[in-house]
Structure 1
Amino acid sequence: MADAALIGDAAPAIRPGLGRMALYVLLGFSAGLPFYMFSTVLALRLTEHGVGLVVIGFFAWVTLLPTFKFLWAPLLDRFDVPGFARFWGKRRGWIMLSQLGIFTSMVAMAFTAADQYLAVTALFAVLLAFWTTTLEVAADAWRIELAPTQDEQGPIVAANLWGYRTAMVAAGSGALLVADRAGWDNAYFLIAAAAFLPFPLLVAMRPEEKSGGGRWVALATGIAASFVVLLIVAVLTAAVGWVVLDLAAGAGISSKTNVTPVVLGTCLLPFIIMAAALPKIRSAPPTVWYRQSAAIGPYVDIFWRYSFGALAILAFVSLYRMGDVLALTLSKPMVKSLGYTLTQIGFADGAVALLSSMAGVALGGWLTTRWPQAWTLTLGAVLAAFGNFGFIWLAHQAPGNTALYIATAADQFGNGIAGAVFVVYLSMLVNPRYPGAQYAFLSGFAFLLPRLLAGASGSMQGVIGYDGFFLLSGVLSLAAILFLPIIGRMKPRAPDDETI
């Protein structure tokens, strides 16, 4: 697309300072709400309707979509949304389309809240995940264009994260409180309306500099075009889903199937492929095409710089957040099975979870500036593991708010510290030449294997029970510590050609 389109979006459609920060609080809030509605909240909803844990585990695979956002992210750079883009520009056009996608998907989940047809529930959950991820891609691109310097980025990033964490409370707590009193349909209607808040604000903004046509014509055209796009995406998603379900049925996979061995084998494939390619990558000269490629060069560079140590790094990052991801899948169904109400769970996921998580993040960030990296990573892994073990302790306590709050606080505090120190570690791994691409790869890979395994969590629980499941998830987080003596001594190779 022409550079003018990008320049138009980068123009000050809103004034720097509080205006931009307020907008990105709303955008973070809008993106954070749907994530819980197709993950943790949906798991509780399915539990309430008697869906088996194996099937609930399968639904965890919906959270894989954000990991693969690089597959369609280039489309947001190449194409405009008709109507919206002509008046508001490329980035805002995609944000507005995504907001419509989030709203319609969540409303559809509200109308099908009885979960009588799980394939339909899965379809709308996937659509909600797709449009939520698309919103994040568009918002991140616009943020970089609005604030090109590091000094400008800091406040907007902070505002965006604050909005996202506030949304975690609203979805994880507010939706459950509403569902307990007024039903799941009203909970999804309410969150859909809240997630749609940035849309009228974007409509009210002034156009990009070279806009043609009127605001209301552009809005009507954009909405009409958006619903065509939404319909096409829904049909394609349904078709792909039908093929996947048909293949699964043909392979004999059902709610009674133990998919753990298959998933574990799938998790090993990336390591096998990378190990096979490493000898060739290690000896590759700087002029070879796959080191110079704009598409795969940044990813090849990771393996060229760290050689076989890259496998240890990837194994470490895959294990480090494993406990957090696995616990997210079954912690709420387990708590519900202990006799806690949605209201009790909602209060625990409110102020208790938010304050504990933010305290953990703050402490983790502070420690990274004062402790050696290996020490902070070790502390994060230990506290995250003890958060998982806390659910085992909770399962053997008489149901009560105090026990629930202690377990929730321990889990969120440990994950807050682990998350903060982990982000710093990943950031230090990247080559300054390719910071965006390499960080996206490393952070995506860190959650790819845990989320794959999370889809088998129901099968695992059926074999080893809740105690065994949370013990295993905590031990897997602790296992990451075994790699620290190896990765702590790793130094990347010096560049052999600065012109790559």
Structure 2
Amino acid sequence: MVSLMGFSSGLPLLLTGSVLQAWMQQEGVDLGTIGLFALVGLPYTLKFLWAPFLDRYSLGGMGRRRGWLLRVQIGLILALVGLSLTEPAINPMGVAAAALLVTFFSATQDIVIDAHRRESLADHELGLGSSLYVNGYRVGLLLASSGGLILADYMPFSQVYQLLALAMLIGVFTTLLAPEPSIAADAPKTFYEAVIAPFLEYFCRPNAFLILLFILLYKIGDIMASHMSIPFYLDLGYSKTEIGAIVKGFGFWATVFGGLAGGIVMLRLGIYRALWTFGLLQSISTAGFAVLGAYGYSLPGLAAVIAFENLSGGMGTAAYVAFMSSLTNKKFTATQYALLSSLMGIPRVIVAAPTGFLAASFGWVAFFSCCALIAVPGLLLLRRFRSW
């Protein structure tokens, strides 16, 4: 169930990211506008604002988590169908509005799924559970990105989005079959307990703000680089089929192996050393894109860079998710995890927005070199928290 819920979370993400970028570039939209479309991901950053409602209230007779999840997933399917009916070249604002609706329902789904996972797993199960969730998440990403790009060589993007909207039914069936987590005896019973208490409980902890800063910085370079990766591949001359097969297909298995390896390595190294090791590998792998940009078109070179980047990214994400899950109080699971994961979304939304202008101004080699170096502050901050 954890893996299938991860699949449901991962599927919509790139449909407003790299797949939408490819669609817009095919329609002749300029790089600057494509970069600005990162802003449609704002709900991923602001989801902590409405997470307390999901902690406090229940819908229907399916329980606090499953009741919300079913309705949100139906809304997400309808929003994806709406996005498929837009025209990027003629009405980019209409595309932005539809994509924003998709990200709102997707972010809300993430809130409920993260809370369901945390409440269903014991503390000692978080490492393995996070790895299974991340791998399911990556399967969803693979279907949306690799499958979507390959299909786009043979059918219009509008039809691709409609097919992938139907794939979200997997998440609906999972919700119907999954057990409802048991509600803690001290779960929020008033609006005050649901809205105010989670933030008070977290920010009264030692180093609360520095922990948030670390979460913000840990994967910032990796996320900035990935936001412009599809235009980068297309600019170097790779076809959409090559991108789908190598970048998304071959890279997927590297990510799956990285996620599983990350869970195993964490058992031996501990969270602190794992975060250090995986963060350093992520920075080095991002620099590989700069090397590829300098070398030019090369299928073996692309495969090598993608394998290294996805392997290190999968390991880093597994440690990242396990770390954030361990910080949440089960009484306020949805709100506190939404707060922490919202910080993770800031690079994908706010910081990634000007990446199109940066890549156009500095060139691919300088851009990816900067993305590799920008990860260093997060690693330096980690040195202050050896007790983590």
Instruction: Give the TM-score of the pair, scaled to structure 2.
Output: 0.83
Report if aligned partners of 2:28, 2:89 keep a CA contact under 8 Å in 1. no
Shift of 1:454: 0.8
Residue of structure 2 aligned with 1:53, choices 22, 26, 31: 31
Q: Which amino acid is the alignment partner of residue 56 of structure 1?
A: I
Hey, what does 2:189 align to over in structure 1? none
Distance in structure 2 (CA, Å) of the matches to 1:368 and 1:50? 45
Hey, what does 2:155 align to over in structure 1? 182
Shift of 1:328: 2.0
Report if aligned partners of 2:135, 2:259 keep a CA contact under 8 Å in 1. no
Task: Pick which of 445-454 and 375-384 moved more.
Answer: 445-454
Mark the CA change 1:320 to 1:160 in structure 2 (over 3 Å): closer, same or farther: closer
Residue of structure 1 aligned with 2:370, choices 467, 472, 477: 472
SS state at 1:165 partner: helix
Report if aligned partners of 2:18, 2:227 keep a CA contact under 8 Å in 1. yes
RMSD between aligned residues: 3.4
Q: Which amino acid is the alignment partner of residue 469 of structure 1?
A: F
Hey, what does 1:94 align to over in structure 2? 68
Whether 1:191 aligns to 2:164 is yes
C-alpha deviations, 1:126-154, integer Å up to 9, x for none? Answer: 11111122333344556677x47669999
Hey, what does 1:32 align to over in structure 2? 10
Shift of 1:375: 3.4
Residue of structure 2 aligned with 1:64, choices 30, 42, 52: 42
Report if aligned partners of 1:172, 1:349 keep a CA contact under 8 Å in 2. no
Residue of structure 2 aligned with 1:110, choices 81, 84, 87: 84
Q: Which amino acid is the alignment partner of residue 30 of structure 1?
A: S
Hey, what does 2:195 align to over in structure 1? 295
SS state at 2:83 partner: helix
Q: Which amino acid is the alignment partner of residue 53 of structure 1?
A: L
Report if aligned partners of 2:224, 2:347 keep a CA contact under 8 Å in 1. no
Superposed, 1:43-442 pairs within 5 Å as: 43-76=21-54, 85=60, 91-140=65-114, 147=120, 160-199=133-172, 295-306=195-206, 309-371=207-269, 373-427=271-325, 437-442=335-340
Report if aligned partners of 2:77, 2:165 keep a CA contact under 8 Å in 1. yes
C-alpha deviations, 1:99-135, integer Å up to 9, x for none? Answer: 3322222222222255421000001101111112233
Task: Pick which of 426-435 and 34-43 moved more.
Answer: 426-435
Hey, what does 2:186 align to over in structure 1? none
Instruction: Give the TM-score of the pair, scaled to structure 1.
Output: 0.66
C-alpha deviations, 1:293-347, integer Å up to 9, x for none? Answer: 76344434544432xx444433332221101210121011111111111100001
Shift of 1:25: 4.7
Q: Which amino acid is the alignment partner of residue 359 of structure 1?
A: F
Hey, what does 1:259 align to over in structure 2? none
Report if aligned partners of 2:83, 2:98 keep a CA contact under 8 Å in 1. yes
Hey, what does 1:220 align to over in structure 2? none
Identity across the alignment (%): 30
SS state at 2:28 partner: coil
Mark the CA change 1:322 to 1:159 in structure 2 (over 3 Å): closer, same or farther: closer
Shift of 1:176: 0.4
Q: Which amino acid is the alignment partner of residue 182 of structure 1?
A: M
Hey, what does 1:245 align to over in structure 2? none
Distance in structure 2 (CA, Å) of the matches to 1:121 and 1:457? 20
Larger RCO: Structure 1 or Structure 2 (Cα < 8 Å, ≥ 6 residues apart)?
A: 2
Report if aligned partners of 1:43, 1:329 keep a CA contact under 8 Å in 2. no
Q: Which has the larger radius of gyration?
A: 1
Shift of 1:414: 1.6
Distance in structure 1 (CA, Å) of the matches to 2:337 and 2:94? 35
Distance in structure 2 (CA, Å) of the matches to 1:373 and 1:75? 32
Report if aligned partners of 1:312, 1:487 keep a CA contact under 8 Å in 2. no
Distance in structure 1 (CA, Å) of the matches to 2:273 and 2:382? 9
Distance in structure 2 (CA, Å) of the matches to 1:442 and 1:481? 18
SS state at 2:268 partner: coil
C-alpha deviations, 1:410-463, integer Å up to 9, x for none? Answer: 211121122223334445656788666544433322432553111121222233
Q: Which amino acid is the alignment partner of residue 195 of structure 2?
A: A
Report if aligned partners of 1:26, 1:163 keep a CA contact under 8 Å in 2. yes
Distance in structure 2 (CA, Å) of the matches to 1:181 and 1:48? 14
Report if aligned partners of 2:51, 2:334 keep a CA contact under 8 Å in 1. no
Report if aligned partners of 1:178, 1:186 keep a CA contact under 8 Å in 2. no
SS state at 2:110 partner: helix
Count of matched residue pairs: 377
